[in-house]
Each structure stands twice: as structure tokens, then as C-alpha cells.
Structure 1
Amino acid sequence: MTIVILSEENHRQAKAALHAEMPHVRSSHLAEAMAAGFGRGSHAALLSFRRGYQDHRAPLARWDGAAFARRIASFGYADVPATAFGTALAAIRLPHTPYVKFRKGDRSANEDHYRTANRLGRPMMMITTARTYAQLEWDCITIDGREDHHVRGHEGDRLVRLMFEMFQARCRGAPGKPLFCGSAFTGTIKKLLPETAGQLAEDYFTLLTCHSPEQRSGLREARFRS
């Protein structure tokens, strides 16, 4: 996972998971290194960035494992890998995630995701898995109708073109001949490799969650550089 929803609960549980993975690291050092991983100069700066956001409006951050590892090393801890964050989070599930993954036909998981997304006013982003391929689905019916102008009309048309560009870039030469079908508001991509489905889910959640064209443009460039 490279995109993280910076809710207070996510931050707290991510730090606890990292501390369990690296119990020898002091809590204050871990907090500073996490801030670096989230693109901030200090723990205080990260808290200031988050201040004023409620969990349903928490900002998104792109995790930089190399920056985390460099900051940890500056405190004298050797051989901490850039993958430490991903390893720690593999053992838990953060309360707020860009997308959910479940087996095809699991209606209960689908309904649970709808209720959560609707309560938080976030787009639904779902990966359903089968034996070989995965299917990515998105639906913006759960976004507050007063805040969904970016997925409708002319703005929605521009946004879906960007989504299709991302699909082409991620899936060029992929097996299974993935098929993109839909609009910015709702859509499906079939026959994706599971890893590609996760990458596109983060791409699309970022685009559908950010409301200003400047935010979407900046995040788009960051994603294509990754």
C-alpha cells in the first residue's frame, strides 16, 4: 500500500503495528520517522497537517519507505528496510483503507463496504478476486451529492479520460486483455492481475477523493513517477 488515509485512528494503529515489528525503536524516534515517511519534516508538522480534519475528511498521503528508512537510520538504527511499513501493515487491517478486497460473490462484504463508504462520504472502491484474475469496481453513489461535481458532467468526462490513461499505462501488455468499462461516477475493469488491480484502486481512489483539479493533477504526476 502506498496511499494512506491519514485519519487519527489509522495513524495510531500504523504506529502500533510498526512498534510491534520494531520494538527496539524508541516511540519518539518512530513517530519522527513515520512523519518523514508521510512527507513531513517532523512529527509536529504531521500533526499540524492533520489537525482540523475529522476521520471522514482525513487527507491522503503517499508513503515513502525510503524516507522512513533514512530517518530511522539518522537515529542510529541500522538495517531498517524501506519495506518495514508494508511488512508491519500486512499483519493488520487499517480501519480506513482506499479499497476493500473480497472473494467474488461475497455479498456481505460488499454491503459492509457500502455502509462504511456511505457513512464517511467516500467513493466505493472494490476488488473482487477469482482464481487467476481480479475485477476492480468503483461507485461514487456514496459521495455527498453536494460534493460530487468532479465525477459528473464535463468534469467527469475529463476525469474518466485520465482514469483510462492510467488504465492503459498500468495494463500495457498485460495478460487476460483487461477491459475498462464505465465513467468517472461508476465503472468496472475486468481481468486484471491482482497487483495491478491494487495499484489502480489506489490511483482511482486518489482521483475520486480529491476535489480540486490542482490536487488531482499533482497526484497524477506523482503516481506516474512511481
Structure 2
Amino acid sequence: MNTAVYAKEAVGANYALESMQYAQARTWEAVDAIAAAMLPGMTELEATAIGKQVLADLGMERIWHPLLIRFGANTLKTFKQRSEGNPVLGENDIFFIDMGVVWRGHEGDAGATFVTGDDPDMIACAAAAKTLFERVEARWRETGCSGVELYDFAHQQAETMGWKLNLDIKGHRVSDFPHAIYRAGDLGDYAEHPHGGLWILEIQLAHPSKAYGAFYEDLLA
């Protein structure tokens, strides 16, 4: 057995794939509920406060990574970067939601991009992030490729589609809480084939000429 590989996919005593899938489904429920509450005229800080209240109302056990809601140009920011200012959501605008929430002791992690209004470029950008995710997920399902190869494929596909992939965002481990004790690193640096129920595939795109982007992430399961 390759102990280094095993350590990167190690789980706790309480881990169960069914619980992982339950946590992910509840997290998507929360993403959709928060998105429905986002209205033009509110600020990012107001949106985040609303999002936290939605999570509390849904009965989440705890947040395991901060809730991020990014408006406009802040959709280009990575997870570790702070938002610039406190922008107001416009009538024709783009925003994404990214959350990590514990349900039944397991880590849900999901993110998606939404638009207000009918700007066709913003709609296309949001759709492209999900489409690229689906192409890369299909590649994972259909081949035995490594995490490194998955993100190489994602990069090639993004260029073909006419978007810029942010390769500073490369996915990560999840598990029964807390996964962080395993120090697994990024999915995009994982040299083995990632198993289901353990890894989050993240896609972050930038518009090729405008100051916004899109984000989409989900569990490979």
C-alpha cells in the first residue's frame, strides 16, 4: 500500500458516503435558499448576514469554512483574498455563493454563480462555470485520471470555451469533520485517481475582457 496516498484519502471513524451525500444535498439546499434571498440594493456584508441566518434556520451544525458571497468584480477573488470594499448588488449583476457547512458530522461544500437582470455575458459566464465543471466531472467518471490530469483537462477545456481558468483554485478534500487533519493538499496536485465522496472539484473562471468571473464547485461522488 502507498501510505502517502492512503493518508491523503484517510477518513475518520464516523465517515459514511451516505452521510457525505446527505451533507452535500443539504448544502445545495442552503445555496439555493440564500440565492433566492439576494436582491439588488443589498451590500455584500448584508448578504453575508442574511446567508448566515438562512444557515441557522436550516439547522446546520456548524460552519467549517467561512460563508463567502461575492458581488460583481469580487467574483474574481479567490477564497483566500478579501473582497474589495462592500459593493452593492446591481439590477444587472453577477454574484456567487461559496459555503462549507457541517451536517450529520460531515462536511458539505458547494458553490454556484447567479445573475440579476438579463445581461447576456454575465449569464453566459455563470453558465460556463457549471458547464466546465460538468465536463471535468465526466472526465473523472469516465477515466482513471489523476487530480493533476483533471485540472490540465479543465485548463484546456476553458481555453476551448473562450474563458480563463484560475489555476490557483484546484479543489480540496472533504470528509467527516474535521478533514484538515489529513493535510491532503489540493485536488489539482493529487497524483492519483481521486475516489468519490472525498474531493471537491472547484472551477473559477474569469471573463476574458470584463471585470467579473464565475465559480462552481461540488463533490465528486
User: By percentage of residues, which structure has more strand?
Assistant: 2
Larger radius of gyration: 1
> Whose helix fraction is larger, Structure 1's or Structure 2's?
1
TM-score tier after normalising by the smaller chain length: under 0.3
What TM-score, normalized to structure 1?
A: 0.26
TM-score (normalizing by structure 2): 0.27
RCO comparison, higher one (Cα < 8 Å, 6+): 2
